[in-house]
């Protein structure tokens, strides 16, 4: 089935599932479905020179976006980009250290630095991303929907204040507790930037958008409400209709956010992404028919055998149960070193599973 994906026309199963409409088979896409586990991706990145050069070249972004669809019978394409394009466009000097991940040359750690940050113009400052959306949507030609995305304001702020990845979030939590008004100001700017950025993607052709709140789960409940969820609600409320005039479905994904599921479901989003630590059947009981659910296989299962992949996929699907409103995904992104054959096993297992 894998190579037939790019030949199929008008697969709108993802859109229907996100709207909780009936589907013939459970749709599946995977976070980081284009990435280092694919040899063709590694070859393209080698030609690009470095990661940001790859992101900033719309034709190469198109190439890597389509690579997993040529291998696997996936039900969506997701724009190849990075969540840190927005703070990079704010002038923080994004770069990548081998083995250490993203870093910023100019971390933001004072109210003065926050007040000095510009709000990026999507076309002028992030036009390479919007150009990539345009060429990907044109090339897809209705075969599968195109997902755009952004990091959540809180998650973007963690990188901006920490200066890169963090294990303890010491810098941003110090700011949170010492000067919460300054953090509010930073998050307000980021919310405005993300609204503009996602509306730019929607205007360019994105048919679904996902907000990655990767680090929301490190907050207390009160802090999550104030510093993460409130800003995602603002973003959802500020998004424009799609090119067809209809609502563009929004997926909110807070890693380790299952215990706030009922709050997230009331945010205005159409779907809530679950990580692998929360039972999807319990999640469905809690949200009822308010939103669709996305998830939530443990990504590490893809290092196991074909039999294990099939069994765990069935467990997730049976856990959700019959009826509409499920988009199958991992509970986080595919990890480097995964054998692509296991991804094919997973996609085929999901599509072949009886819906009941």
Active site residues: 32, 36, 45, 82, 159
Cβ–Cβ < 8 Å for 285, 258: no
Q: Which 3 state secondary structure label does DSSP give 347? A: helix
User: CA dist 290 to 178, 204, 268, 328, Å?
Assistant: 37, 29, 9, 18
Nearest Cα to Cα of residue 300 among 341, 330, 264: 330
The token pair at 48 is 């690009």
Q: How far apart, in whole angstroms, are the C-alpha atoms of residue 8 and residue 2?
A: 11
Cα 17 to its chain centre, rounded Å, is 17
Provide the Cα torsion 79, 81, 84, 85; round to 10°. Answer: -100
DSSP label at 268?
Answer: S
User: Nearest 5°: CA angle at 270, between 316 and 291?
Assistant: 55
The token pair at 174 is 């110090």
The number of residues making up the chain comes to 356
Nearest Cα to Cα of residue 90 among 41, 29, 156, 34: 156
Query: Which residues, in sequence order, are bridge partners of residue 141?
Result: none
Nearest Cα to Cα of residue 209 among 253, 159, 267, 156: 253
Residues 6+ apart with CB under 8 A from 313: 297, 328, 346, 349, 350, 353
């Amino acid at each position: 089935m894998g190579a037939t994906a790019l030949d199929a026309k008008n697969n709108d199963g993802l859109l229907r599932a996100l709207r909780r409409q009936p589907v013939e088979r459970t749709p599946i896409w995977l976070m980081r479905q284009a990435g280092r586990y694919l040899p063709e991706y590694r070859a393209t990145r080698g030609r690009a020179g470095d990661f940001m050069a790859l992101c900033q070249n719309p034709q190469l972004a198109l190439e890597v976006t389509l690579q997993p669809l040529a291998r696997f019978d996936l039900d969506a394409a997701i724009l190849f980009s990075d969540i840190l394009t927005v703070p990079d466009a704010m002038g923080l000097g994004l770069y990548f250290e081998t083995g250490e991940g993203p870093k910023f040359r100019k971390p933001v750690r004072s109210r003065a630095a926050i007040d000095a940050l510009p709000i990026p113009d999507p076309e002028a400052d992030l036009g390479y991303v919007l150009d990539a959306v345009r060429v990907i949507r044109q090339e897809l030609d209705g075969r599968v929907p195109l997902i755009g995305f952004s990091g959540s304001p809180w998650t973007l702020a963690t990188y901006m204040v920490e200066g890169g990845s963090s294990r303890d979030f010491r810098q941003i939590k110090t700011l949170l507790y010492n000067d919460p008004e300054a953090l509010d100001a930073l998050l307000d700017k980021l919310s405005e930037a993300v609204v503009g950025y996602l509306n730019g993607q929607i205007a360019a052709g994105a048919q679904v958008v996902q907000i990655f709140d990767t680090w929301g789960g490190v907050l207390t409940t009160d802090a999550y409400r104030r510093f993460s969820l409130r800003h995602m609600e603002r973003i959802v409320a500020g998004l424009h209709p799609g090119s067809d005039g209809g609502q563009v479905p929004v997926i909110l994904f807070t890693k380790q956010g299952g215990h706030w599921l009922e709050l997230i479901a009331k945010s205005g989003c159409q779907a809530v992404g679950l990580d692998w630590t929360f039972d999807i059947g319990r999640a469905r009981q809690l949200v009822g028919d308010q939103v669709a659910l996305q998830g939530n296989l443990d990504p590490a299962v893809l290092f196991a055998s074909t039999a294990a992949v099939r069994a765990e996929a069935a467990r997730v699907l049976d856990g959700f149960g019959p009826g509409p409103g499920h988009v199958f995904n991992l509970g986080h992104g595919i990890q480097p070193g995964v054998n692509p054959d296991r991804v094919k096993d997973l996609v085929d297992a999901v599509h072949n599973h009886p819906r009941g």
